[in-house]
Each structure stands twice: as structure tokens, then as C-alpha cells.
Amino acid sequence: MSTLKIKIESGRAKVDFDLQHLVSAFSLPNKLRTDSSYILVPGFLDVHVHLREPGFSYKETIKTGTEASAHGGYTAVCTMPNLKPVPDSLETLKIEEDIIAKDACIHVYPYASITKGEKGDELSDMEDLKDRVCAFSDDGVGVQTEEMMLKAMMKAKELNKMIVAHCEVNELLKGGYIHDGEYAKAHGHRGICSASEYMEIARDIELSRKTGCRYHVCHISTKESVELIRKAKKEGVHITCETAPHYLLLNDSMLQEAGNWKMNPPLRSEEDRLALIEGIKDGTIDIIATDHAPHSLEEKSRGLEKSPFGITGIELAFPLLYTGLVKKGIITLDKLIDLLVVNPREIFGIPYDGFSVWNLDEEFEVKEETFLSKGKSTPFIGAKLYGVNYLTVCNNHIVYEKEEGNN
């Protein structure tokens, strides 16, 4: 009988799980004992998800969102604060905390907003909130003024908390909704320029340098962003960043006239995509997060222009990245685990809490009906991927188990 292990060793973490022992502990199918295509990995952490509750439960709930996360092998998620009400005080945060305590099947770490109501005018109750949240973010909108971001970073530094920034200069958007590239020009769409992202990153790098605040950049998508962050890291700025699977695997030449191709930031050029690949290979990009952003079917049926920004992603992230990057020899499996497990847990200070069991040789087709999320909108419908999750365990409890015939 073979003993299957995956071990991660670095100066930051050591994780060693023995699948043979777990077969007995969790009554796993006997075939897992001997089939070398099965591996066990520590629970993934997604530092950027939208669980939509409170306020938008028709899109997603804490229950459906965490069930979808467990399906994807995630045992912990950090959920963004663009909710109703926005968690900008202990009173509004408690509404979200109560739902998490009642309905979540995995660990959920909420963000609090940087500013009241994410309006950019007044800081949230950061001191009161600091021990109850993973970090501060106004995700969905950029903090538009340098003065407000400076105040936020100074306060976050004082509290030893991280600022997590959605970087977007509103005055440069000009009503755009896809990348300002060849597809937009050819099809008469309004484009979003790359500068709308990287100019705010450049501003915030200088503020982080000035204040010493730990600064994390959300979902970078442009080659200029990669280069700015690479340079800042070499200069000792306390900066980390993430990108998402779709920016690593797709570009704007692949766009279709459908809402499931619309996200913010948008899919960029092939040159940008290749720069992001280099960024994950050389360590400039620390984390791959999904920006799981479910919407209703009706909302996402309005085409590129009128559909809301955002796609679902947490159930497909590992198979997409394993198929598109590891199997093609672009990065190793160990590197992928660093990006999904080791780095996010180190940067956000979130402990290891479980594992998942995958068959890497098993292929499946992406179908809407297999999603546990309420959101079904993704550009990857119909894709053939490798990697099927058979089991997710969080805090010694089975939170997902594959049913016969389902992926």
C-alpha cells in the first residue's frame, strides 16, 4: 500500500499530511489508498471573495458561497466589504459576523471598509474594528484622494493592519467597461485604459514608502502594475499583490459579446498576460485570488456593456491553474501551492486549518449545473480541465465530499 504525501517546506511554513492515515480517519474510499493520481493539499485561502451577504443575497449567501469555496478546495476566505450595510463600524460588522457564525461551513474572515460607506470621505471606525477583521479595503472603488489614502495608511500603520487596495482612477474610466485595446476598437466598445490601474498603484507605493504601512494591491492586470510593484519590492516598500486566474489564462482578443466576459479590471492584452505570468514566476506577484463575484443570471445576460462587472471563480481556480499553468510546464505544482496556500496565509496571518484531496488525472467539462455558487457566470463554461476535488476537510470536519457522477 502506498503512502501519499504532499509536503511544503520553507522558512515560512511546514505542512506534512499523510493520505494513508486520513483514509482511515475520514472513511475515504479505498481507491484513494493506492491510486497515485490522488494528492492531498493544505486548504486553499482566497483573500478576495464577494459573498454578497448582507444586502445582496439574491446573488450569493454566506452559505452558498462557503459551500462553493469548499467545493473548490478552500478552507478559508476573506470576504470583501462592499455590502449593505458596509462593515465600517462594530454595529454594521456584527450583522455580517452573525450570518457567518450561523451559516459558514469554512472559515470566513471579513474585511472592514477603509472609509465610511466606501464613499472616500471619512475613515471607518478602524481602531474599533482592527481585532475583528483581516484588513481594511474599499474594494469595488479606489480611494480617490491622496489625502484620504495617506490618513488611512497612517492609521493602519498605527494599528498594525494592512491596507488592501482596489486601484482605479475614476476620472480615467470615461464610461469604459472592457480593456481599451484592439477588441474595443474593432467592436465599438468603450475601453478602460491601463493607466486607470497603475497610476493609483504608483501613488500608493509612495504613500506606503512614506508611512511604512503594509500595502496589498488587489487583482493587478497590467504590465505596468507588475513592473511598478517589482521595483517597489526591490526598494524595500512593504507591498504585496495578487492577480486572478482569468488574467493569467485569457486576454482581450478572446472576448465574446456576453456578460460572462465582463470583470473589473477587464481582461487585458496578451502582452499584459505574459507580464503577469513573469510576475508569478519571479515572485513579484505573491497570491492568486479569485475575485469570486457572483451575480444573478438576469444581471449577467445584458451583454458586455450593460452587465455588471464580475464573474464566479472559486470552484474552478485550482483546476484552471493546474491545467493552464502546471500541466503546460509554466510553473510547478509546488509554486501553485505557494500562490494559493503558503503566501496568502503568511501575508494575512491566517493559520492552516484543513486540506483537500484531488485526482489530478481526472478530466471534466465545466458546466453551470455543477456549481454550488448561486453565480453561474464564467468565460470558462465548456472548458475541459484536469483536477477533480473528492474531499475538503476544515477543522476536522468534512465540508465537501464529491458525489458519484458529479465534479
Residue 211 lies in a domain: yes
Note the pLDDT tens digit of each residue in 134-165: 999 999 898 999 999 999 999 999 999 999 99
Higher pLDDT, 407 or 39: 39
How far apart (Å, rounded) are the C-alpha atoms in residues 179 and 267? Answer: 6
Q: How confident is the model at residue 403 (pLDDT cuts 50, 70, 90)?
A: confident
Model pLDDT, residue 314: 98
Q: Given pLDDT bands bounded at 50, 70 and 90, which one contains residue 21?
A: low
List the 44-49 sheet strands across, edge first.
Answer: 44-49, 74-79, 107-110
pLDDT confidence band for 37 (50 / 70 / 90): confident
Whether residue 273 is contained in a domain is answered as yes
Q: Is residue 406 part of a domain?
A: no
Residue 153 is assigned to a structural domain of this protein: yes
Number of domains in the chain: 1
Q: Are 279 and 247 in contact (CB under 8 A)?
A: no
Among the residue ranges 36-40, 115-119, 190-194, 391-395, the one predicted with the least confidence is 36-40
Judge whether 386 lies within some domain: yes
Tell me whether residue 407 is in a domain. no
Q: What is the pLDDT of residues 292-310, one digit of tens each?
A: 999 999 999 999 999 999 9
Q: What is the dihedral of CA 57, 395, 357, 7, to 10 degrees?
A: 130
The pLDDT-based confidence of 39 (bands split at 50, 70, 90) is: confident
Q: How far is it, in rounded angstroms, from Cα 43 to Cα 340? A: 9
- Give the model's pLDDT for residue 23: 52
Asked if residue 108 lies in contact with residue 100, where contact means CB atoms within 8 angstroms, the answer is yes
Q: Is 291 a catalytic residue?
A: yes
Domain CATH code at residue 43: 3.20.20.140
- Residue 98 in any domain: the answer is yes
Buried residues in 146-156 as b, exposed as e (16+ CB within 10 A): eebbbbbbbbb
Residue pair 366/381 in contact (Cβ under 8 Å)? The answer is yes
User: Which residue range(s) make up the domain with 257?
Assistant: 5-401
pLDDT tens digit string along 85-104? 999 999 999 999 999 999 99
> Does position 10 have pLDDT exceeding 90, yes or no?
no
Predicted pLDDT at 16? 46
Q: Is the peptide bond before 265 cis (omega within 30 degrees of 0)?
A: yes
Indicate if the pLDDT at residue 36 is higher than 90: no
Kindly tell me if the per-residue pLDDT of 204 is higher than 90: yes
Q: Who has greater pLDDT, 23 or 359?
A: 359
Each residue's pLDDT tens digit, 322-357: 999 999 999 999 999 999 999 999 999 999 999 999
Quick one: which of 385, 366, 363 has its CA closest to 377?
Answer: 366
Taking the model in full, what pTM does it have? 0.93
> Cα–Cα distance between 399 and 274 in angstroms, integer?
36
| 223-277 tens-digit pLDDT | 999 999 999 999 999 999 999 999 999 999 999 999 999 999 999 999 999 999 9
pLDDT of amino acid 396: 86
pLDDT at 296: 97
Q: Quick check: is 125 in a domain? A: yes
Catalytic residue among 291, 338, 353, 361: 291
